[in-house]
Structure 1
Amino acid sequence: MLLRTGLREEGLFRLAAAASVVKKLKSCLDSGTVDQNVFSYDPHAVAGALKCYLRELPEPLMTFELYNDWFKAAAEKETDEKLKQLRTVLQKLPTENYNNLR
């Protein structure tokens, strides 16, 4: 939904949806009973639920263990080498984390 319509929405991750709507969506997601038609009209609610999900993870998607590797790769000046290092660090991520980033 976010990829289909939300990317054209101004301030998608900056502007907050109503807290009650985000809370309801999170509850539906947790119980596996999401009616896409109910929430498809509000990309800000979907973005808000995604932000909550990421914020509440016990460990960041990029992992504490790889923290220094990410910064080392990002600090690389030469573009081709930077991309090579970033790909290398991506390959070190747990499968679940990598899939979430995709």
Structure 2
Amino acid sequence: MLLETGMKEEGLFRIAAGASKLKKLKAALDCSTSQLEEFYSDPHAVAGALKSYLRELPDPLMTSQLYDEWIQASSVSDPDKRLQALWLVCDKLPKNNRNNLSLMFPACL
């Protein structure tokens, strides 16, 4: 939904959705309901739910254990070598983290 309609929305991840709408969306997602059509018209609610999900993860998506390696890989000056270093760190992510990452960035993993 965010890729289809949200990318043209100004301040997508910056402008907060209404609290009641966000709460309702999160409840619908928690219940695995298929009745999400009403939220398709509010990309800010969807972006807010995604931000909330990421904040509530028990460990950061990129993991605290790999923090130093992410920093080291991102500081490689040559773009090709930097990308290769980032891929190597990405390969060290736990399976669940890689799965989440691949859902958010399908073209990357």
Same fold by TM-score, threshold 0.5 exceeded?
Answer: yes
Cα distance, 1:34 vs structure 2: 4.0
**1:25 aligned residue:** 25
Q: Relative contact order: is structure 1 or structure 2 higher (C-alpha 8 Å, sep ≥ 6)? A: 1
> Structure 1, residues 21-79: CA drift from partner, whole Å, max 9, x if none?
00110011111114121110100000000000000111000001110000000111111
The equivalences for 1:47-62 within 5 A come to 47-62=47-62
**1:11 aligned residue:** 11
Query: Match of 2:66, as an amino acid?
Result: L
**1:81 aligned residue:** 81
**1:67 aligned residue:** 67
Unaligned runs of 5+ in 2: 103-109
Separation in 2, partners of 1:35, 1:41: 13
Separation in 2, partners of 1:8, 1:99: 26
**2:38 aligned residue:** 38
The Cα RMSD (Å) is 0.9
8 Å Cα contact 2:28/2:36 also seen in 1: no
Separation in 1, partners of 2:25, 2:43: 11
Query: Match of 2:95, as an amino acid?
Result: T
8 Å Cα contact 1:16/1:44 also seen in 2: yes
Secondary structure of the structure 1 residue equivalent to 2:61 = coil
**2:93 aligned residue:** 93
Q: TM-score, normalised by structure 1?
A: 0.95
Q: How many residues align?
A: 102
Q: TM-score, normalised by structure 2?
A: 0.90
Cα distance, 1:95 vs structure 2: 1.7
